[in-house]
Every structure is written in C-alpha cells, then in structure tokens.
Amino acid sequence: MKETKDLTVNSADKLTVKLSGAAVLAALSVIFQALPPIFLTPWFMRIDLVAVPWVICWVLFGYRAALISMIVSVPIVGALGPFAGGFVGAVMKSLASVWMFTIPAVFTYKSNVNRLLKNKKILLAATVAAIVIRDAATAIVNLYFAIPVFFGMTPNQVIDFFTNPRFQSFLGKQLGLIGFTAYFAEVFFWNTVQGVIDIYLGLTLAVMVKKRLKT
C-alpha cells in the first residue's frame, strides 16, 4: 500500500513539474511575441522566436506539455506585440508551429527523444518532414483563409497581391516571380526559414538546458 501511495505521489509531482514547465515556457513565448520580429515580410509574416519555447517544452517535458504550452500562449500571441495579426495571427502561428514538435514527436514515438538528438539522419528526416507539412499547410490556409480574411481579398486577388513587387520580399524580386509561382515561393521559403529556426534553435537550447540540469 505504501509503495502504491509513493508511486501516486511521484506521478503527481511529475505532472506538476510538466505543467509548471509548460506555463513558464508559454510565458517565454509571449515575451518573444512582444519583441520586434527578426524579419517581417512585406505580406506581414513574422520571422521570430515565438515557437522556440514550445519545441524546448516538448524535449524537456513531453508532447502533451508542449501542446498545452502552445494552447495557453497562442491567444495572447495573436493579440500582443507588433504585427500580431489578432485571431488570424493566432490561428496561423499555431497551425504552422505545431508541426515543429508534433512531427519530431512522431519520429520518437517508440524511442527516446535522445535518439533523435544523437542521430543526425533521423533528425534531418524529422526536420524535412515537419517543414514540408508546414509549408503545404500554410500555403493552403494562407491562400484560402489567412490572407483573404486579414486583407479582405479573394484567393485570385491574393495571387495578384504576390505578383506586385511592393508585396514581395527580396526572393520574389530577385527571381522576377509572378502569379502562383511568386505566391508559393514566398510562402514556402519563409516558412522553411521559420521552421529551421524553430526546430534547430529549440533543440539546441533544450540540449543545453538538459546538460545544465544534469550537472
């Protein structure tokens, strides 16, 4: 009986630690949102560190904790700071970022996260899969929901929007892109950049924290 009680207390302690960690990292995500973005595209996509704490949370406390951390912070993320985007920004940030820890979690479903961190091939495969899914999801949702709602446009007008050099980043301008090519190139490129930042910076910082805790 005593052993069963000890196990129950231990399980409760672990849950408390995970929830506390999720809350702290949710707050850190909100702080990053309040800061100016690293880069802002002409179509108002932020390149920032908002999702990095969610990836760290997954490594340190598990998938459910990371999901809780994201759900708790994303409504504030949509309302706070420069170029937050409101409801649309909150939806798009969560839709784009959830894959950055969900797909790596799938790759480590039957193994330890340390295996992912130590095996460069598995890490690369997880990263590529996460970014491909992110790019596809954001391309579809930006075209039919986010940009039309945010700017009051139809999908056809969105394509014309990306053909206008005023609303292209250096990528579209340098390559002279127009139409669907300009749209998909812009969305894919910048979501790939953001995805790489989220995964690799998040994993790097998580590893540093884990080493510090062991020490």
- CATH number for the region 2-214 comes to 1.10.1760.20
The tens digit of pLDDT for each residue in 81-128 reads: 777 889 999 999 999 999 999 999 999 986 778 888 888 899 999 999
The tens digit of pLDDT for each residue in 26-38 reads: 999 999 999 999 9
Q: Which residues of 81-100 are buried (b: 16+ CB within 10 A; e: fewer)?
A: beebbeebbbbbbbbbbbbb
CA distance 114 to 109: 12
Q: How far is CA 54 from CA 1, 59, 143, 189, in A?
A: 38, 9, 26, 22
Nearest to 146 by CA among 68, 92, 82, 209: 92
**For the chain, domain boundaries:** 2-214
The tens digit of pLDDT for each residue in 47-58 reads: 999 999 999 999
Higher pLDDT, 187 or 114: 187
pLDDT bracket for residue 1 (50, 70, 90): low
Over residues 141-169, the mean pLDDT reads 91
pLDDT bracket for residue 215 (50, 70, 90): low
Q: Do the beta carbons of residue 33 and residue 80 sit within 8 Å?
A: yes
